[in-house]
Structure 1
Amino acid sequence: MKHLMLILLAVFLLGACSSNDRYVQWETVPPETFPKLTAIGYAPLDTQPAKTQAEKVLMAMQASKLAAYRELAEQVYGQKITASSSVNEWTMGDDNLRASVSGVIRGARVVKSYPVGEHYVTELELDFAQVWAVYQQQNRPQRVKDVTYF
């Protein structure tokens, strides 16, 4: 029994020493390619709720920019579709369709913003190299580069 206790104690001490005798070196792994997404947003000038033409242009600029951001969010995160239909006496009663998108877009830039006829247009670009750089500043995904045992 005494020998068994000594063997167990030796195994425990050797096992405890072996778990803390290494140094792990980490490195960041960039993706192989970075895509660029583009989106275009449109907004009508005449239907903006403003008194002067200059205010209408500013409101349309903002609305077209938001529409372009929504399109980018749809490309990155996808769109949630909810649909329902009802039939009453073999005829269509109600047919409802809802779409929504939710997400955070970082690193997009306005390429162009200009009026075209009765609309205002904003073109956005999302370069995933920029997105990756922003992500690296916040979160540092890493992999094992080297392990040194002592």
Structure 2
Amino acid sequence: MFVMSGCSSLFDKHVEYEYVEPDHYPVLKAIGYAPLSDQPGSSPSQKMLMAVKVSKLEAYRELTEQVYGQSISSSTTIKGAIAQNDGLKSQVNGVIRGAKVVKSYAAGDTYVTELELDMKRVHDLYITQVKPRKIKRVTYY
């Protein structure tokens, strides 16, 4: 047994790899909203700028939820068959690359930002960094 496993290291091999590409790339969409009048700022333009930022961040959060999901934790304290404390916490964590702003506009007292994430673009960004591959063929000499 030892002799046979020792001989296998004498053979040279050539491994060919091929890159794996999915069949379908979805396009994810997200919308973020922010109330204009509730934003901090001394002038209407400052409030507008803050609403633009907030609505964009809200849209990014929605995209992150679609890509990575949400972490939910809850707790309830019961004393004497009566709920004393009830809590729910939600958390989203992830990195979004390749999203683009489709529209950004005011609608009444609300500022709206629409984002789009083309998963083909995400895949292309991923390929340039990671270069995933699978074994296509192994040739032994």
Pairing 1:143–2:138 present? no
In terms of Rg, which structure is larger? 1
Q: Distance in 2 between matches of 1:12 and 1:76?
A: 46
TM-score by length of 1: 0.87
Aligned-residue Cα RMSD (Å) equals 1.8
How many residue pairs align between the two structures? 141
Where does 1:40-79 land on structure 2 (aligned, <5 Å)?
40-79=31-70
Could you tell me which runs of 5 or more consecutive residues in structure 1 were left unpaired when the two chains were aligned. Answer: 1-7
Q: Secondary structure of 2:78's match?
A: strand
CA, structure 1 residues 65+12, in 2 after alignment: closer, same or farther (shift >3 Å)? Answer: closer
Q: Distance in 1 between matches of 2:55 and 2:131?
A: 34
Consecutive aligned runs of 4 or more in structure 1 exceeding 2 Å deviation: 10-16, 145-150
Q: Distance in 2 between matches of 1:54 and 1:136?
A: 41
Could you tell me which runs of 5 or more consecutive residues in structure 2 were left unpaired when the two chains were aligned. Answer: none
Q: Which residue number in structure 2 is paired with residue 91 of structure 1?
A: 82
Q: Distance in 2 between matches of 1:69 and 1:54?
A: 23
Tell me the amino acid that sits aligned with residue 76 of structure 1.
Answer: V
Larger helix proportion, structure 1 or 2? 1
